[in-house]
Amino acid sequence: MRALGLRTFCIGILFCVASVVASSAQTFTSLASFDGGPDGAQPWYLTVTQGADGNFYGETLFGGNDTSSCSAGCGTVFKVTPSGTLTGIYSFCALANCADGSRPSGLILGTNGNFYGATGDGGAHSSGTVFKITPAGTLTTLYNFCSQTDCTDGAGGNGLVQGSDGNFYGTTSGGGANNHGTLFKITPAGKLTTLYSFCSQTNCDDGFEPAAGLTQGSDGNLYGTTGFGGAHNGGTIYKITPEGQFTTLYAFCSQKDCSDGENSVAGLVQAANGNFYGTTQVGGIKTSCRPYGCGTIFELTPSGQFTTLYSFCSETACIDGTRPTSGLTLGNDGNLYGVTPGGGERGVIFEITPAGDYSVLHHFCREAGCTDGVSPLAGVIQSTNGLFYGTTNYGGNSSSCTSCGTVYGLSTGLSPFVSALPAAGKAGRVVGIMGNNLTGATSVTFNGTPATFTVVSSTVIKATVPAGATTGTIQVTTPSGTLNSNVAFVVLP
């Protein structure tokens, strides 16, 4: 059965209390276990992503074929099918001196069907790389960090996001003009531009050492977090334009005893109401996780109005989870989903509404020997089939490694949908529409305006944004039913 949920009631803007509400059933499935070899080990905080072929792709921080440069392996890129067939498609440090990078830090699907990511180590200057990799496993290094004197271009790459202009945007944890990290733009061809160096303000009030990538908002600006610095040294939430204009929106620990949270090490997600949601690893009103608190879930408006939605460890023995290390995923029901590596049994999957109604969906380590996994550090994604997918850092049932982590699926009864790549574009732009069972589609509309389209495969349609279209839902009519996009497609002027 699904665990009881927690409904939060907010008093004023910044303080919330919880009460218990009932929740409905869901189905959890252990799909695969990492073996510590070619398919990798311990994904840590690296969330999987859905490919255009309907399979899932991700990275591990350890494992792989090379153990001479990294004793536990330098990390991998893997593929897993919805039915659970797990395959390693690339092992980092395959080149001499790890010129191809090591210790990957996140993977995204590009509009061309290839994947893009960064590494925190390795490369020509041992400071990380930006790379492209095909679904078949052919890797191309696009950029080597620390290519400039004193590493002013950054060092230690974090995750990427592809902007509506086709370029990629990301962060580094180190390097830059002040050696505290950077914000950068890189073209698909590999030309990198440093947009901002952290700790450029007095006392590092702008924050420093970001651990997560960026999110592009519906306004075209980029939003992110830092784990440290800010006016109260608890980290920050910031906005930066694609041209490099930087604004600090909120400084954590602005409230007494950091009840608003601190040390956000994950990215943000924007909901349909236009507000951003995220997590902090510590802080909050609960002090069970002494001395720093158990973490929070928060909401932020684009103008910077902050609300604490939930403080972890609000229930006895922290059965609701503690200290999230990953961000949230927006479901096609409008609710937000995430995980915590601690609390519950050995970590939980949770759901929270934008209003703050909180529910635990699954407790890990409920199977003998923790074969369902332990400690989910990486967040979940929602596939176009309606299910959620994620990884755990430990546990599993591999005969060669019983604690290398797992891949899992979770059904909450949500319906299939389609997803646009990119999620914004001008009239006349060809966009990819990903889904399931798309063969035989008879109609594609952008907020009600018919579009010309071509069915590429059962999982991909190519459609042209029609003249006169407005921002809103993409709808695809197939022989088995009508599918709506999970988020509104933004029609750019």
- Tokens in use for 90? 């690339």
Mean pLDDT of 443-448: 98
Mean pLDDT of 220-248: 97
Whether 449 and 315 share a structural domain: no
Whether 219 and 348 share a structural domain: yes
What is the per-residue pLDDT across 126-175, written as a single tens digit (0 to 9) for each? 999 999 999 999 999 999 999 999 999 999 999 999 999 999 999 999 99
Whether 160 and 200 share a structural domain: yes
Ranking 9-23, 28-42, 102-116, 317-331 by mean pLDDT, the lowest is 9-23
* Residues 6 or more apart in contact with residue 96 via CB below 8 angstroms: none
pLDDT of residue 16: 38
Nearest Cα neighbor of 298 from 236, 247, 243, 367 is: 236
Whether 406 and 423 share a structural domain: no
Q: Give the residue from 391, 411, 431 where a domain finishes.
A: 411
CA distance 99 to 339: 34
Nearest Cα neighbor of 44 from 28, 59, 29, 64 is: 59
Question: What is the overall mean pLDDT for the chain?
Answer: 92
Task: List the CATH number of the domain containing 148.
Answer: 2.130.10.10
pLDDT of residue 366: 83
What is the per-residue pLDDT across 90-135, written as a single tens digit (0 to 9) for each? 999 999 999 999 999 999 999 999 999 999 999 999 999 999 999 9
Nearest Cα neighbor of 256 from 284, 275, 235 is: 284
Instruction: Judge whether 377 and 45 are in contact, CB under 8 Å.
Output: yes
Q: Give the residue from 380, 411, 442 where a domain finishes.
A: 411
CA distance 294 to 404: 26
What is the percent of the chain with per-residue pLDDT over 70, rounded to a whole number?
A: 94
Task: List the CATH number of the domain containing 460.
Answer: 2.60.40.10
Whether 335 and 476 share a structural domain: no
* Top-confidence residue, 285 or 114: 114
CA distance 164 to 161: 10
Whether 358 and 431 share a structural domain: no
pLDDT of residue 65: 84
Whether 423 and 406 share a structural domain: no
Ranking 20-29, 42-51, 97-106 by mean pLDDT, the lowest is 20-29
Instruction: Judge whether 63 and 54 are in contact, CB under 8 Å.
Output: no
Whether 43 and 130 share a structural domain: yes
Q: Name the residue range of residue 436's domain.
A: 419-491
Q: How confident is the model at residue 24 (pLDDT cuts 50, 70, 90)?
A: low
Q: Give the residue from 395, 411, 427 where a domain finishes.
A: 411
pLDDT of residue 292: 79
What is the per-residue pLDDT across 460-479, written as a single tens digit (0 to 9) for each? 999 999 999 999 999 999 99
Total domains, the chain: 2
Whether 113 and 53 share a structural domain: yes
pLDDT of residue 369: 86
pLDDT of residue 285: 87
Whether 387 and 444 share a structural domain: no
Q: How confident is the model at residue 15 (pLDDT cuts 50, 70, 90)?
A: very low
* Residues 6 or more apart in contact with residue 481 via CB below 8 angstroms: none
Whether 174 and 274 share a structural domain: yes
Mean pLDDT of 297-311: 97
Q: How would you write the chain as a 3-class SS string?
A: CCCCEEEEEEECCCEEEEEEECCCCCEEEEEEECCCCCCCECCCCCCCEECCCCCEEEEECECCCCCCCCCCCCCEEEEECCCCCEEEEEECCCCHHHCCCEEEEEEEECCCCCEEEEEEECCCCCCCEEEEECCCCCEEEEEECCCCHHHCCCEEEEEEEECCCCCEEEEEEECCCCCCCEEEEECCCCCEEEEEECCCCHHHCCCECCCCCCEECCCCCEEEEECECCCCCCCEEEEECCCCCEEEEEECCCCHHHCCCECCCCCCEECCCCCEEEEECECCCCCCCCCCCCCEEEEECCCCCEEEEEECCCCHHHCCCECCCCCCEECCCCCEEEEECECECCEEEEEECCCCEEEEEEECCCCHHHCCCECCCCCCEECCCCCEEEEECECCCCCCCCCCCEEEEEECCCCCCEEEECCEECCCCEEEEECCCCCCCCEEEECCEECCEEECCCCEEEEECCCCCCCECEEEEECCEEEEECCCEEECC
pLDDT of residue 486: 95
Whether 199 and 321 share a structural domain: yes
- Does residue 222 surpass a pLDDT of 80? yes
